[in-house]
């Protein structure tokens, strides 16, 4: 069997995800990421040929280029992820947990702990190839399933060699929430994690209508796609009513989209001169957020949604991987990766097996 992995995009920087696995003359494309910023160059898909496309989850840097790929390439994703495909795009279901055969390759999927309906992919060829998509071991909402053994691991390393526990991140954020605060978030995922956490910490908090809609969606899901007890926790949440004119409520924590500080209630509040609360970004900071931060109009405190270095090391051991490629991060610290991952550390875009 001849197997070659080609990391087309996503190696050496936080860039759109696109990995081609060539196996016995067939080409499986793992993820089809698009630009995270409107002005970001993204041309990896030009003249691309593939026999199947597999999408790990519905974040733009993993799904955003589907619209530019030929419609006739069969596309596989979970049912929840399919809701975010371009209108009319045909698709076939990946299991949220379980196996499927695609182009003669047995694929196992499991929950990746990072987003709604998001999965990791394990290809049962060449001793096992594991692609994590984006993953987290610390989510309050989404479970992470342990994958089968794999000789080759392609792992989300969006945070580089960062290794701070989420419990410390939460403590740091809690210390700052003594005054009215706006937390810009993506409605899927972190919004509801923050809501559960605010409630547990007895804060005064509220959720914008977009995030409330997402909460209703989560409560309809099969319970095993969420951490045990989450649906009960969601039912017991008691947010204050979201209104547009209570700028001055003391200590109110507002959880609102969009995460990038541009549209939605977040965009409205940030540009409202009457809003006097602080603004704290907790995730990826695009141009608008960075401008707010450097102008002193906002702060940034990380809320982990990607793995820490210790998660990468533990997963590598679990897999028994002999080749480990950290994705979506700079390789300027290659020597640190070498130290952390040992002789299996790979930073080359082509892996011949
Ligand atoms: Zn993601």
Dist CA 249 CA 181 (whole Å): 10
Whether the predicted pLDDT of 247 surpasses 70: no
Indicate whether 15 and 157 sit together in one domain.
yes
Q: Ligand 1 centre from 101 Cα, in Å? A: 25
Cα 67–129–59 angle (5° rounding)? 30
Indicate whether 234 and 316 sit together in one domain.
no
pLDDT tens track for 309-344: 999 999 999 999 999 999 999 999 899 999 999 999
Indicate whether 96 and 199 sit together in one domain.
no
Query: Edge-to-edge strands of the sheet including 92-93?
Result: 92-93, 75-77, 52-54, 26-30, 18-23, 3-9, 350-352
Look up the pTM and report it: 0.94
Give the residue from 279, 300, 321 where a domain finishes: 300
Task: Please say whether the beta carbons of 96 and 102 come within 8 A.
Answer: no
Q: Is the peptide bond before 27 cis (omega within 30 degrees of 0)?
A: no
Q: What is the pLDDT of residue 61?
A: 94
Which 3 state secondary structure label does DSSP give 278? Answer: strand
Indicate whether 16 and 157 sit together in one domain.
yes
Q: Ligand 1 centre from 239 Cα, in Å? A: 26
Task: Please say whether the beta carbons of 239 and 216 come within 8 A.
Answer: no
Number of domains in the chain: 2
Indicate whether 140 and 214 sit together in one domain.
no
Q: What are phi and psi of 175, to 5 degrees?
A: -60, -30
Indicate whether 247 and 294 sit together in one domain.
yes
Closest CA to 144 of 257, 36, 224, 81: 224
Q: Ligand 1 centre from 128 Cα, in Å? A: 23
Give the residue from 300, 322, 344 where a domain finishes: 300
Q: Ligand 1 centre from 111 Cα, in Å? A: 13
Q: Ligand 1 centre from 132 Cα, in Å? A: 11
Whether the predicted pLDDT of 292 surpasses 90: no
Q: What is the pLDDT of residue 37?
A: 81
Indicate whether 7 and 139 sit together in one domain.
yes
In this structure, of 24-33, 132-141, 222-231, 277-286, the range with the lowest mean pLDDT score is 277-286
Q: What mean pLDDT do residues 229-254 have?
A: 86
Indicate whether 314 and 292 sit together in one domain.
no
Q: Would you give the DSSP letter of residue 117?
A: T
Dist CA 114 CA 117 (whole Å): 9
Q: What is the pLDDT of residue 246?
A: 63
Q: What mean pLDDT do residues 23-28 have?
A: 96
Q: What is the pLDDT of residue 178?
A: 92
Task: Please say whether the beta carbons of 257 and 264 come within 8 A.
Answer: yes
Q: Ligand 1 centre from 147 Cα, in Å? A: 18
Indicate whether 147 and 27 sit together in one domain.
yes
CATH code assigned at 287: 3.40.50.10890
pLDDT tens track for 28-70: 999 999 998 878 889 999 999 999 999 999 999 999 999 999 9
Q: Ligand 1 centre from 135 Cα, in Å? A: 8
Q: What mean pLDDT do residues 116-132 have?
A: 97
Whether the predicted pLDDT of 106 surpasses 90: yes
Indicate whether 153 and 182 sit together in one domain.
no
Whether the predicted pLDDT of 189 surpasses 80: no
Alpha-helical regions (H) of the chain: 60-63, 79-82, 166-176, 190-200, 209-219, 230-235, 264-270, 287-294, 309-319, 334-341
Q: Ligand 1 centre from 57 Cα, in Å? A: 7
Indicate whether 8 and 149 sit together in one domain.
yes
CATH code assigned at 118: 3.60.15.10
Q: Ligand 1 centre from 133 Cα, in Å? A: 7
CB count in 10 Å sphere of residue 72: 7
Domain of residue 213, residue span: 166-300
């Amino acid at each position: 069997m001849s197997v070659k992995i080609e990391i087309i995009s996503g190696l050496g920087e936080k860039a759109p995800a696109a990995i081609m696995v060539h196996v016995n003359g067939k080409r499986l494309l793992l993820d089809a990421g698009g630009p995270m910023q409107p002005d970001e160059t993204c041309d990896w898909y030009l003249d691309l040929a593939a026999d199947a496309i597999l999408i790990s989850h519905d974040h733009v840097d993993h799904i955003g280029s589907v619209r530019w790929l030929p419609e006739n390439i069969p596309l596989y994703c979970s049912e929840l992820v399919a809701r975010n495909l371009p209108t009319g795009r045909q698709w076939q279901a990946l299991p949220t947990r379980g196996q499927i055969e695609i182009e003669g390759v047995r694929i196992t999927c499991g929950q990746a702990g990072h987003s709604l309906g998001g999965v990791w992919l394990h290809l049962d060829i060449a001793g096992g190839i594991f692609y994590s998509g984006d993953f987290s071991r610390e989510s309050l909402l989404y479970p992470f399933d342990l994958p089968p053994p794999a000789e080759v691991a392609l792992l989300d390393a969006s945070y580089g060699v960062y290794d701070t526990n989420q419990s410390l991140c939460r403590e740091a954020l809690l210390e700052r929430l003594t005054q009215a605060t706006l937390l810009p978030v993506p409605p899927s995922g972190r919004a509801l994690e923050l809501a559960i956490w605010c409630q547990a910490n007895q804060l005064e908090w509220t959720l914008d209508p977009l995030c409330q809609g997402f909460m209703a969606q989560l409560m309809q899901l099969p319970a095993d796609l969420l951490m045990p007890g989450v649906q009960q926790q969601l039912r017991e949440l008691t947010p204050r009513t979201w209104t547009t004119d209570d700028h001055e409520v003391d200590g109110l924590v507002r959880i609102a989209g969009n995460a990038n500080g541009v549209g939605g209630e977040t965009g409205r509040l940030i540009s409202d001169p009457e809003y006097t609360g602080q603004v704290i970004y907790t995730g990826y900071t695009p141009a608008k957020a960075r401008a707010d931060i450097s102008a002193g109009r906002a702060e940034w405190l990380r809320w982990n949604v990607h793995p820490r270095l210790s998660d990468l090391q533990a997963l590598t051991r679990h897999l028994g991987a002999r080749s480990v490629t950290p994705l979506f991060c700079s390789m300027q610290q290659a020597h640190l990766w070498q130290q952390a991952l040992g002789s299996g550390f790979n930073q080359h875009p082509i892996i011949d097996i």
